[in-house]
Amino acid sequence: MTIFRIYKLVTKIIRPLFYLFFIYRLLKNKEERGKYSERKGLSSNKKPKGKIVWIHAASIGEALSSLPLIDKLKELSPKINIIITTGTKTSKEIIVKKKINDLTHQYVPWDNEKFCLNFLNFWQPDLAIFLESEIWPNLLNETNKKNIPLCLVNARITDKTFKKWLKLPKTIKYLLSFFSIIIAQDEFSKTKLQKLGAKNIFVYGNLKNDSKKLIYDIEDLRKYDEFLKEKNLLVAASTHEGEEVEIINKFKSLLVELPNLFLVIAPRHPDRRNDLVKIIKKSGFADKEFILRSSNDYLDQNTKIFLLDSIGELGYFYKKSSAVIMGGAFGNFGGHNPIEPALFENAIFSGPNFYNFKDEYNQLLKNGGVKIVYDMDDLFILKNKEKILSMTRNSKNFSENIRGAADKISVKLIGILNENY
């Protein structure tokens, strides 16, 4: 494979530059201080005895998907040890907060042959599970060479990724051949994977649909209970750059007819707080009309907007709201999982670019739990309380009836683990 050999050579040549890359990301607050050794595949952890299952969950979405799978794997095989790798700080926080027994977190090694070997030689996993769409050539190749069964689980291929891989048909077919099995989220992804040359593909549903309700620590949030009880709460969740401007401006116009409306903005990346403050001010809101969660301040009669620049607290606001605007689909980001707010009985609003969650949104549309917003004026439906109430019931019913993927997937994976142990 010429392209793969070139990639392998390039990643070997640039190995000394990885440290500079780490420093750059550290300055951008995208890496954790003192963890460069983990990026080289080294570990300060003690290797446990017994079967080791390695799960790679790159970012926040994959980390959340891993949780119901981990629960079921531990249920079927309580004695297994799990090492989970992630590529971001926020995804690590999600995992660590769970405090799961016999589970160790480590940052995934950079995709360099030496770093990958460091990781594999230390942990010697009995089964490797990659979530969603993680294709790291060196990591896959070295894992395959050690005869460790590889599984691609909850696989999804976006149109953009599909078109990119079509330009390298032999390379992607070769890399996909490393997987013993592939379990796709839906028929759309299965069809694309088959066209790329993948074999042994199953469809068991989306692991994200098995996620439990988002958990949160109520103690420090109780102080908002009384204030929110008197408000008509609207949550704008997982928003991206370019999306908040229109949402905030429309919220301002809605306040004229719905003066009791209160907006909570939870950006996908909380470290964008300063940019959002500028947007809020530019939209005409005074300093006294918005606060940041990080200020740990109380809400008062003047507050119109609450900027949730924190991790792990969104579930509280989903519970207090009845309407949620899901970000990521107004811009070209593919959308975000609507099942999380649906489980809390919310009417869902989304932009039209929800291609990463096509199946979920299409089914929610059929069940009457979501409205696609083509123009921000569509949000005036918030004035129709009966319509919103109907949407909340529909979304919750749908979210509770699509579970079960984790059960099927875990049975399949434990079977593979036992065959190869």
- What is the per-residue pLDDT across 89-127, written as a single tens digit (0 to 9) for each? 988 988 988 888 889 999 999 999 999 999 999 999 999
* Model confidence at 401: pLDDT above 80: yes
> Tokens 């969950």 sit at which residue?
57
Q: List the alpha helices (DSSP H) in 177-213.
A: 187-195
CATH 3.40.50.11720 range(s) for the chain read 26-205+404-419
Report residue 416 CA to chain centroid gap. Answer: 26
Predicted local distance difference test score (pLDDT) of residue 355: 87
Please tell me whether residue 278 adopts helix, strand or coil conformation.
helix
Contact between 208 and 337 (Cβ < 8 Å): yes
Whether pLDDT at 154 is above 70: yes
* Confidence check: pLDDT of 421 > 70: no
Contact 251, 350 (CB under 8 A): no
Q: How confident is the model at residue 318 (pLDDT cuts 50, 70, 90)?
A: very high
Contact 145, 137 (CB under 8 A): no
Is residue 420 predicted with pLDDT exceeding 80? no
pLDDT of 26 higher than 90: yes
CATH 3.40.50.2000-classified regions of the chain: 222-400
Residue 206 in contact with residue 360, Cβ under 8 Å?
yes
Percent above pLDDT 70 for the chain: 99
Report d(CA 311, CA 216) in Å as an integer: 9
Could you tell me the CATH superfamily of domain 222-400? Glycogen Phosphorylase B; (3.40.50.2000)
pLDDT for 214: 86
Neighbour-count burial of 419, counting CB atoms closer than 10 A to its CB (0-12 exposed, 13-18 middle, 19+ buried) = exposed
Residue percentage of the chain with pLDDT more than 90: 81
Q: What is the mean pLDDT of residues 13-31?
A: 93
Amino acid at site 383 = K
pLDDT-derived band at 357 (thresholds 50, 70, 90) equals confident
Write the pLDDT tens digit of every residue in 254-279. Answer: 999 999 999 999 999 999 999 999 99
Domain 26-205+404-419 classification at class level: alpha beta
Quick one: the chain helix, strand, coil %, rounded to 5? 50, 15, 35
